[in-house]
Amino acid sequence: MSVESIRLSVLWNRLIATVDEAANGLVRSCYSPNVREYHDYCVGVFDRKGRLLGHSTHTTSGFIGVITPLVQDLIRIFSGAMNPGDVYITNDPWMATGHLLDVTLARPLFHRGALVGFAVCVVHHSDIGGRMSDIESRDVYEEGIQIPPLKYLDAGKENDGVVQLLLRNVRTPHKVNGDLHAQRSALHICERSLGKILDDYPGETIEGIADRIIARSEESMRSAIRSIPAGTYRSSLVLPPIGRHPHPIPLVLAIEVGQDRIRLDFTGSSPEIAAAVNSPINYAKGYAYYALKQLLDPHIPNNDGCIASFEFFAPPGSVLNCTRPAPTWGRSVVSHYLPEMVFDALSGVLADRVIAVCGSAPASSVVCRGRRYDGQDFLALQSDKGGYGASANIDGKDCLCYPHNVANIPIEITENDSAVVYLRKELLCDSGGPGRRRGGLGQVVEFKVAEGSIAPIGDVILVARGSPRGEDSLCPVNGILGGKSGRGTSLELNGNPLAHGSTSRLKSGDRVRLELPGGGGYGDPRERESERVIADVRDGRVSIEAARTDYGVTIDPEALTHHLAEA
């Protein structure tokens, strides 16, 4: 390795350490579990042209295709009046990350009086006003307060009008304001650390570092693309009706692989629909690019060079390129299907790299709002995960998030923040799709609204978004190359089915049950080693009956009971 390569590696790693340090500061100082536990955020640093150089390791994965055009739009808007200490704010779904709950703060970075780059911090806030999180909104105006690109800090001084307008329109102003201050801290860390890098390497400029990082990353990706036979690869899905939209929702993909470029074309996909699941193009692009990055060149840290060889097209006015004022709150309900479409299209040429469908796509969540017995308003998010799809070499992981890459919110946090009590949270036996490699297990979650001395005052508003997928769904959790589908899906209120994405008013003692499916299997289940099947039965992941019917392995219940007793 040359001296230049070593020097670039050191600089590159320091840039990544910069955004990770900022992200750690954000998590430690924020107020909301959305950041502290769920990790629904992003921190990035850019050069003066708005090219992404470093992206926080912990992040929501689809932001790779979103934040560069966002920063470049902000540069265009504010380029004539940038000062040290400025911070810009927006949550515009079409400019930023696709829905109003994600609030972006961006800061021009100065070193010794000169503009050297930009930092951005995106956080999914606990509330942004409006109807609260649901798919029933008819347009974006119902979904909360819209923040056009504004100066949040002007030369370090807070714009009180912007702050008061925002906080007056949200239900949890103390959490929203606390998270905004945590975002400001993250941006300050980026500026301080970037300045330290430039002090330590006085011959370097951020543009010079950017040119080398982006060029090497782009060439690495182009080399990976050249390993795929040129041609057009296709995939399609039909999603079940959602909310007020009574018809199935088709998604159609053609991947055009050239010599060293890839074009994703979603012509033929559904027009935008009446439910709040439409996606602005940048958000859809992010999840499609994320899947290609995983498949082709997963080890290079995210930067603009990694995606420079990709193109994305979805017809304007479609569900993957919706136009204002379409409702977009649940844009993940559609866009989270894009990685599996990319995997499906390329499975014939990259069979050893793809995974089967995950039971956690799209994201499932429960949002509760109300007032506790002590008079404190609450708004709590709980997101539970289905099983991971299996791959060529390993079984899928249980209850692991994909593709949005967020973490688990412990139920103790939700109970402490709200007026719900969890009764059950356990793995769902037989939910993993059978295969030579088995899909990860899904789970069953059950909770109730608190009763007695800890009961809430009045009603609790519930927005529950379970999984629309299952064995009988238009869009099952498919296995791959002979693997079978993941199993299990339901959403119930007091034992009665509840519509996906619906809003309900709960009383003290009401019970909600959520069942998340397992991931799809990989390969013929009859090729699975019998000792693995026996181990799955012993661990409670597969029943004796499923071992016989799915895998062809007959197990004596008495012998198994005797073995477990001895263990």
- Indicate the pLDDT class of residue 567, thresholds 50, 70 and 90: low
The Cα 70–Cα 73 span in angstroms is 5
Predicted pLDDT at 528: 97
Predicted pLDDT at 364: 78
pLDDT at 68 over 90: yes
The Cα 182–Cα 164 span in angstroms is 17
Q: What is the largest CA-CA distance in the chain?
A: 79
Return all residues near 210 (Cβ < 8 A) that are at least 6 apart. Answer: 47, 49, 51, 53
Average pLDDT, the chain: 92
Q: Quick check: helix, strand or coil at residue 397?
A: coil
Predicted pLDDT at 408: 84
Place of tokens 């600089």: 11
pLDDT at 566 over 60: no
- 328 near 93, Cβ under 8 Å? yes
- Segment 24-51 shows an average pLDDT of 94
Residue 164's CB is within 10 A of a number of other CB atoms, namely: 11
Predicted pLDDT at 109: 98
Predicted pLDDT at 206: 95
Could you tell me which residues are beta bridge partners of residue 254? Answer: 234, 265
Picking from 60-64, 294-298, 461-465, which range would have the lowest pLDDT averaged per residue?
A: 461-465
The Cα 555–Cα 567 span in angstroms is 17
The Cα 358–Cα 81 span in angstroms is 47
- Indicate the pLDDT class of residue 145, thresholds 50, 70 and 90: very high
The Cα 357–Cα 342 span in angstroms is 11
Q: What percent of the chain has pLDDT over 70?
A: 97
Does this model's pTM top 0.75? yes
Task: Give residue-wise pLDDT tens across range 230-248.
Answer: 999 999 999 988 888 889 9
Task: Give residue-wise pLDDT tens across range 161-215.
Answer: 999 999 999 988 999 999 999 999 999 999 999 999 999 999 899 999 999 999 9
User: Residue 20: in which H helix or E strand, if any?
Assistant: helix 3-29
- Indicate the pLDDT class of residue 473, thresholds 50, 70 and 90: confident
Which residue did the predictor score with more confidence, 417 or 67?
67
Picking from 138-142, 334-338, 389-393, 411-415, which range would have the lowest pLDDT averaged per residue?
A: 411-415
- Segment 436-453 shows an average pLDDT of 92
- 387 near 442, Cβ under 8 Å? yes
Tokens of 230: 């040129």
- Segment 437-457 shows an average pLDDT of 89
Task: Give residue-wise pLDDT tens across range 202-225.
Answer: 989 999 999 999 999 999 999 999
Tokens of 419: 């007026």
Residue 374's CB is within 10 A of a number of other CB atoms, namely: 9
- Indicate the pLDDT class of residue 61, thresholds 50, 70 and 90: confident
- Please report the sign of the dihedral spanned by the C-alpha atoms of residue 422, residue 427, residue 432, residue 437: positive
pLDDT at 537 over 80: yes
- 318 near 266, Cβ under 8 Å? yes
Picking from 96-100, 519-523, 554-558, which range would have the lowest pLDDT averaged per residue?
A: 554-558
pLDDT at 563 over 80: no
Predicted pLDDT at 221: 98
The Cα 446–Cα 355 span in angstroms is 29
